[in-house]
Structure 1
Amino acid sequence: MSDGANLSQEECEACKAGAPKVSDMEIEVLLETLPGWEMVEEEGIKMLHKQYTFPNFVTALAFTNRIGELAESVQHHPDILTSWGKVKLIWYTHKIGGLHRNDFRCAARSDQLVT
């Protein structure tokens, strides 16, 4: 089984409509490597959610900007909600309406961006 650090080192691949979603068993195994992340289902779409906490708005915004840079670098974009001392991050693959391995890779990379 890989851990979050190994997962973050995997190369992201371009996702196209019809790319395979991860199975429920894969989701369970991959989530074990990502502390604090949870899989939620909204309107039939499985997504990865995590809320990060920070001491103030400035550090939350700085983290949001680092996530934006990550997203652009891999051309895979999360939903982000930034508020005072909090950032809610949601990774899923819009093109396939669910979770791809890229979402787990990006979640692992997101955790590495917390300073």
Structure 2
Amino acid sequence: MTEDLASRKCIPCEGGVDALSEEAATDLLGKVPGWTLVNGDKLHRTLLFPDFVRLMSFVNEMAELAEAEGHHPDFSVHYNRLEVTVWTHAIEGLSENDFILAAKISRIRDA
């Protein structure tokens, strides 16, 4: 299921659309294993790496992906632990783009 979302492209969102309902977000959450729903308006995943260098290599890959998609995650680096949060800032909630980006991040991490 993750592959279905991962094969899609994020569509630019500059506001003017409603955020997904918590019910819709919960339905899509099943398509992005390893991610959790936070307060009904953000996706979160913790990723562990063997060391800092490999974590930073992944962060750079994730940055390239985010630029290509035009949709950017928030993240925090803690030596070998990466906290990734995805949400659509323009609508202050979740859009389908967030699930697409989460699936793509998972695909490069789990490859």
TM-score computed with the length of structure 2 as normaliser: 0.93
Question: 1:113 aligns to what SS in structure 2?
Answer: helix
The amino acid of 2:64's aligned partner reads: E
C-alpha RMSD over aligned residues:
1.2
Unaligned runs of 5+ in 1: none
Tell me the equivalent position of 2:5. Answer: 7
Instruction: Indicate if the aligned counterparts of 1:8 and 1:106 stay in contact, CA closer than 8 A.
Output: yes
Aligned ranges 1:38-77 → 2 under 5 Å: 38-41=36-39, 46-77=41-72
Unaligned runs of 5+ in 2: none
- Structure 1 segments (4+ residues) deviating >6 Å: none
Identity, % of aligned positions: 34
Of stretches 84-93 and 23-32 in structure 1, the one that deviates more from structure 2 is 23-32
- CA apart distance, 1:20: 2.6
Deviation string, structure 1 residues 11-51 (Cα, Å, up to 9, x no partner):
2101021123112221111111111101112xxx7110000
Question: 1:104 aligns to what SS in structure 2?
Answer: helix
- CA apart distance, 1:100: 0.5
Instruction: Indicate if the aligned counterparts of 1:60 and 1:83 stay in contact, CA closer than 8 A.
Output: no
Tell me the equivalent position of 1:35. Answer: 33
